[in-house]
């Protein structure tokens, strides 16, 4: 289920502000994406466990922004720090036949690379270790953001559940009940067609009544969809009941697949135009339910 939560906490003692944003997207499993500052990378497993305690499925992206008052800026490298690697690069480019002195873009790219390399090597210098108080502040901010996210997802989930119930009712009342009404008419029409064909073929031949009854029994068994109708109703009842449970997304998706399978069996056993039309309409509703199930946890 999609959702968004945000929290911001500050500490006067730590002279620090931490902003946490959490975004969730649809996913069959649980996929955690950590987008925290490097200072917090060692806390990734704990943050993942915290998020997992709130969210069971979906793609979760966690963004953390750390702003420390009076934090020292990283100094630019001195000429002496750049001269040694620069001389090595100039020597290498000369061996490769690159004219750095007369090639302004190449010379500019080399200088930018050296500056970036120096900053990366020294980015943690001057920064203090992450204290226990700062860790507690981070997890408190993350917990608040998760509560905000959960409230939004719960509100959306309630609205989505009502839509699923409407689709299930439509599937039962408009599709399954109509198929139940039409099937006896289809069966009787097929029985009359079989009887007429037998009479046409064996017009001048005596027909064994026992054999005729056997053919009727085979036809009745082949065309009987009462078992499929009973299973469809049972799956629909199970889908309605699972909406009241805690973890419903995967179970609802499973039941929708079972309903789809029974609809396919129904259309193969009773291939009349009216019933196939209703089955196709039912499949469209089931696909809507399956899509909605992806948004439910």
* 166-209 pLDDT tens trace: 888 888 887 888 888 888 888 788 778 777 777 776 666 666 66
Residue 208 CA: distances (Å) to CA of 73, 123, 174, 188 = 102, 97, 43, 21
Task: Report the length, in residues, of the chain.
Answer: 297
- Over range 36-53, report the average pLDDT: 91
Residues 173 and 189: their CA atoms lie apart, in Å, by 24
Taking a C-beta distance cutoff of 8 angstroms, is the pair 235, 259 a contact? yes
Which one has a higher pLDDT value, 9 or 93? 9
- The confidence score (pLDDT) of residue 20 equals 95
* Each residue's pLDDT tens digit, 88-147: 666 656 555 555 555 555 555 655 555 555 544 444 444 447 889 999 999 999 999 999
Averaging pLDDT over each range in 70-84, 193-207, 233-247, which range is the top one? 233-247
pLDDT exceeds cutoff 70 at 79: no
Q: Which alpha helices (DSSP H) does the chain contain, by range?
A: 44-54, 79-96, 104-121, 132-170, 177-201, 209-223, 226-242, 249-269, 273-293
**Low-confidence winner among 135-139, 150-154, 222-226 (lowest mean pLDDT):** 222-226
pLDDT at 206 (0 to 100): 66
- Residue 154 above 90 pLDDT? no
Closest by Cα among 1, 297, 296 to 167: 296
For the chain, what percent of residues have pLDDT higher than 70? Answer: 73
């Amino acid at each position: 289920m999609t959702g968004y939560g945000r929290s911001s906490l500050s500490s006067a003692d730590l002279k620090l502000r931490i902003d946490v944003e959490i975004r969730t997207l649809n996913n069959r499993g649980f996929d955690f994406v950590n987008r925290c500052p490097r200072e917090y990378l060692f806390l990734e497993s704990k943050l993942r466990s915290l998020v997992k305690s709130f969210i069971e499925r979906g793609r979760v992206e966690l963004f953390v922004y750390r702003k420390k008052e009076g934090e020292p800026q990283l100094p630019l490298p001195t000429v002496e720090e750049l001269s040694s690697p620069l001389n090595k690069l100039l020597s290498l480019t000369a061996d490769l036949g690159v004219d750095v002195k007369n090639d302004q873009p190449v010379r500019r790219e080399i200088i930018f690379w050296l500056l970036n390399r120096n900053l990366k090597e020294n980015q943690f210098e001057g920064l203090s270790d992450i204290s226990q108080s700062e860790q507690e502040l981070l997890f408190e901010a993350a917990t608040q953001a998760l509560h905000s996210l959960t409230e939004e997802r719960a509100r959306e989930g309630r609205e989505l559940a009502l839509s699923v119930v409407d689709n299930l009712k439509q599937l039962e009342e408009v599709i399954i009940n109509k198929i139940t009404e039409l099937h006896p008419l289809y069966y009787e029409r097929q029985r009359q067609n079989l009887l007429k064909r037998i009479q046409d073929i064996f017009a001048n031949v005596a027909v064994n009544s026992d054999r005729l009854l056997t053919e009727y029994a085979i036809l009745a068994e082949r065309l009987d969809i009462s078992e499929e109708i009973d299973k469809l109703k049972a799956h629909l009842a199970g889908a309605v009941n699972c909406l009241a449970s805690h973890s419903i997304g995967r179970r609802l998706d499973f039941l929708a697949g079972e309903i789809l399978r029974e609809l396919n069996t129904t259309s193969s056993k009773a291939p009349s135009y009216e019933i196939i039309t209703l089955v196709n309409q039912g499949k469209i509703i089931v696909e809507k339910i399956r899509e909605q199930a992806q948004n439910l946890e």
